Structure 1
Amino acid sequence: MREISPTQNWLLIAFGLALSGMIYSLLFYPNGSLFIGAVFALFTGMPILAFERRILLRPLHRRIEKLPTLSFILASIIVYEVIMSAGYALAGLFLSALGLLDRASWVEVLVLPFEVFLYALGVCALIIFVLRVRDLLGRDVFTSMLISRYRNPVEEERVFLFIDLADSTAFAEKYGDLRAQQFLHALFAAFAEPVRRHHGSIDDYVGDAAIVTWPLARGVRHARCVRCIFDILDEIEADADVWRKNFGQVPQLRAALHGGVIITAEIGVDHHKITYFGDTVNTTARLESLCKALDRTVLISADLAQRIPLPGSVVAEDLGNHAVKGRGQEVGVIALKKRLVSAQPRARKRMRMAAE
């Protein structure tokens, strides 16, 4: 499946918004300019979508999300109205500066008409709904279901990353199941951005573990699957004080990477799901269970490691072959860790600067 970059994704959204503005012009202003309709649609719609995608006014979005349902809906409508009105006014000023608007007064140029607000709200709601469904299912799963790619089973190569929270049972016993669920919710939310940044897809959450997957060619390119787990670990470490403040401890993770041939199929009748079958998935799960026995944070199969040009910031340690439960033969296991940066070069640099 061809990879769609974030830039291409936003260009498609912008095209859809511009097209909706042209349609509005055709329906209500048949003698008007399609370009003007497209500009107004872009200026009113793109900020809303940026707000929904947590690019614009992120702190405000987080506050609104915590509100009860009715308050959330009312607050969202108010925010939409303000953002759309600001966008509409900017579009009016932009088009007026170009000499493309022939309006009777500045009020018509700057004030968002109610019918335009309703139309723009409807278009944005439709786009947001599609994006939310895509986020719920996962980007790749949503596209695959849309085109029925896996209606019939398909053999393909994929990379799997299993990430497990260590000592989750002890946390639940100490703080209770509700607090443990809140801890997991915050942890899985922290996974989202690194996975998205490295073009992966969170396939499932199983208890206190998350399963991330890539088509093999995409996952090994630029060592994305390896960079993804270390970005997750780095972000958790960077926010250590916040984790301690909110939950009393910093999450300790165990992770395993493996790739190979699997069978991908869409299953279910009332509830559809794309699932993966084969030894590759089971081996990844067994590798993750080895992390505790071998006292390592990140393990990768030797087979997959041979196909990945590891980043310079990552050090590989060959742990030899190990028997894996449920598998007839041993698996080559390699531990990955961040390369320690020596403080000596930095110290010498500071001494040179002081001498100068």
Structure 2
Amino acid sequence: MSAQRHHLWLLPVAPLIGALAGLFYWFTLDQDGTLIGSVVRGVCIGTLILFYERELLLPAWRNRIRRWATPLFALATLVTYASMIVVANIIAGTVLQLGLDVTESARAAMVMSQSGFAYSIAASLVVILVFRIRDLVGPKVFGHLLLGLYHRPIQEERVFLFLDIVGSTSFAERNGDLATQIWLGRIFNALAAPVRRSGGSIDDYVGDMALITWTIRSGTRDAACLRCVFDFASVLEADAASWEADHGGVPRFRAALHCGPVVTAEIGLERHKITYFGDVVNTTARLEALSKTLDVPVVASADLIRRIDRLPASLRIRDLGTHTVRGRDGALSVVAVSSSREP
């Protein structure tokens, strides 16, 4: 699913949120102004900012500043928002003067009151804070914590992906720990977009390993969890020249996927976290170790493959037989997954 299609829901929602913000401003701070003027300005400002936050506007710039330290990120975002507020006010003024004819002149329509600009900046600061926290804990985890979905433990079925970066130890020996951390950070930054496009969530990073999870429905629908792995490989290959120039080669990884029932719960008092309890998580970790033994880059349990509604033609499945996995009663059927474009 393309990013544009994934965010189609935002087309009606962003203007609605902006209109509500404009209505709130008129009701609390600007009843001397016109209701329609506040609402139109709210629609224009809210739409631009929310489209920006959902990467429908200036995605390269947004992804770049997200890697900066929080103070620099906040300053750059505030400047970006302020610029968007100015542009949105020009658009709103044009609509009010030419389309709705509610002001005397185009110049007057484009003038924004000091209170209106201050309100927009204050609202922007709140949005910056919310989205920064969301970035730090992960979008899905943030939503779950905000809604309290896992305040009480629940049992559910989920898909898990353990993704391990190959060669990190030798890279550290050649380049040092600091350079290795920069290298890993860049790799995991590249992982974010494929995970988001697949509807998954990066649950944790442990050294050179990332743990990604999906609900069973979102992970198996149209093989989203498998697509994520090869989407990530494509993202790395698309930037191959840069990886070669900066780090001496394109990163490689191993991936293992499995699914099954887990207990999902919110834990922690001062630092909240969504965590998963059950054999499925441990089994996925053992599968990742097995992929190294078998020298297969991407492995999955047959249990997961059976749950996928439709395997895309771009992927090939090869049976690897049954294997005993430490800590699990009974053998586990395992398959190799590869791209049909691979030789």
* TM-score where L is the length of structure 2: 0.90
Distance in 2 between the 1:217 and 1:64 partners?
33
2:294 is aligned with what amino acid?
Answer: L
Partner of 1:142: 142
Contact 1:205–1:211 (CA<8 Å) still a contact in 2? yes
Distance in 1 between the 2:138 and 2:72 partners?
28
Partner of 2:305: 305
Contact 2:78–2:124 (CA<8 Å) still a contact in 1? no
72-81 or 226-235: bigger deviation: 72-81
Contact 1:45–1:124 (CA<8 Å) still a contact in 2? no
Partner of 2:125: 125
2:304 is aligned with what amino acid?
Answer: L
What is the aligned-residue identity percentage? Answer: 42
Distance in 2 between the 1:34 and 1:181 partners?
52
Partner of 1:347: none
- Write out aligned runs for 1:34-113 (5 A): 34-61=35-62, 74-103=75-104, 105-113=105-113
Question: For residues 65 and 118 of structure 1, do their structure 2 counterparts lie closer, same or farther at Cα, with a shift above 3 Å needed?
Answer: same
- Size of the alignment, in residue pairs? 337
- Write out aligned runs for 1:7-26 (5 A): 7-9=8-10, 11-26=12-27
Contact 1:302–1:334 (CA<8 Å) still a contact in 2? yes
SS at match of 1:165: strand
Distance in 2 between the 1:322 and 1:56 partners?
48
Partner of 2:258: 258
Which residues of structure 2 form unaligned runs of 5+?
1-5
Tell me how far 1:63 sits from its aligned partner. 6.0
Question: For residues 67 and 277 of structure 1, do their structure 2 counterparts lie closer, same or farther at Cα, with a shift above 3 Å needed?
Answer: closer
SS at match of 2:341: coil
Q: Deviations over 1:293-324 (max 9, x none)?
A: 11111100011111112111100000000111
63-72 or 188-197: bigger deviation: 63-72
Question: For residues 48 and 184 of structure 1, do their structure 2 counterparts lie closer, same or farther at Cα, with a shift above 3 Å needed?
Answer: same
Structure with higher Rg: it is 1
Tell me how far 1:263 sits from its aligned partner. 0.8
298-307 or 263-272: bigger deviation: 263-272
- Write out aligned runs for 1:327-338 (5 A): 327-338=328-339
Partner of 2:195: 195
Question: For residues 159 and 180 of structure 1, do their structure 2 counterparts lie closer, same or farther at Cα, with a shift above 3 Å needed?
Answer: same
Distance in 1 between the 2:334 and 2:70 partners?
48
Q: Deviations over 1:137-187 (max 9, x none)?
A: 223322222222222221110000111101111111111111111111111
Contact 1:165–1:252 (CA<8 Å) still a contact in 2? yes
Partner of 1:349: none
Question: For residues 153 and 97 of structure 1, do their structure 2 counterparts lie closer, same or farther at Cα, with a shift above 3 Å needed?
Answer: same
Tell me how far 1:6 sits from its aligned partner. 3.1
Distance in 2 between the 1:323 and 1:164 partners?
21
SS at match of 2:8: helix
SS at match of 1:151: coil
Distance in 2 between the 1:266 and 1:62 partners?
29
Contact 1:200–1:212 (CA<8 Å) still a contact in 2? yes
Distance in 2 between the 1:73 and 1:302 partners?
46
1:280 is aligned with what amino acid?
Answer: V
1:291 is aligned with what amino acid?
Answer: S
* 1:325 lines up with 2:340 in the alignment: no
Partner of 1:212: 212
203-212 or 118-127: bigger deviation: 118-127
Tell me how far 1:66 sits from its aligned partner. 6.8
Distance in 2 between the 1:248 and 1:326 partners?
38
Tell me how far 1:87 sits from its aligned partner. 1.3
Question: For residues 68 and 337 of structure 1, do their structure 2 counterparts lie closer, same or farther at Cα, with a shift above 3 Å needed?
Answer: closer
Tell me how far 1:22 sits from its aligned partner. 0.8
Distance in 2 between the 1:230 and 1:59 partners?
22
Distance in 2 between the 1:317 and 1:216 partners?
22
Partner of 2:7: 6
Partner of 1:271: 271
- Write out aligned runs for 1:213-292 (5 A): 213-292=213-292
Question: For residues 264 and 124 of structure 1, do their structure 2 counterparts lie closer, same or farther at Cα, with a shift above 3 Å needed?
Answer: same
Question: For residues 100 and 128 of structure 1, do their structure 2 counterparts lie closer, same or farther at Cα, with a shift above 3 Å needed?
Answer: farther
Question: For residues 67 and 253 of structure 1, do their structure 2 counterparts lie closer, same or farther at Cα, with a shift above 3 Å needed?
Answer: closer
Distance in 1 between the 2:200 and 2:64 partners?
28
Tell me how far 1:72 sits from its aligned partner. 5.4
SS at match of 1:149: coil
Tell me how far 1:109 sits from its aligned partner. 1.6
Tell me how far 1:230 sits from its aligned partner. 1.0
Contact 1:85–1:111 (CA<8 Å) still a contact in 2? no
Which residues of structure 1 form unaligned runs of 5+?
343-356
Distance in 2 between the 1:131 and 1:10 partners?
19
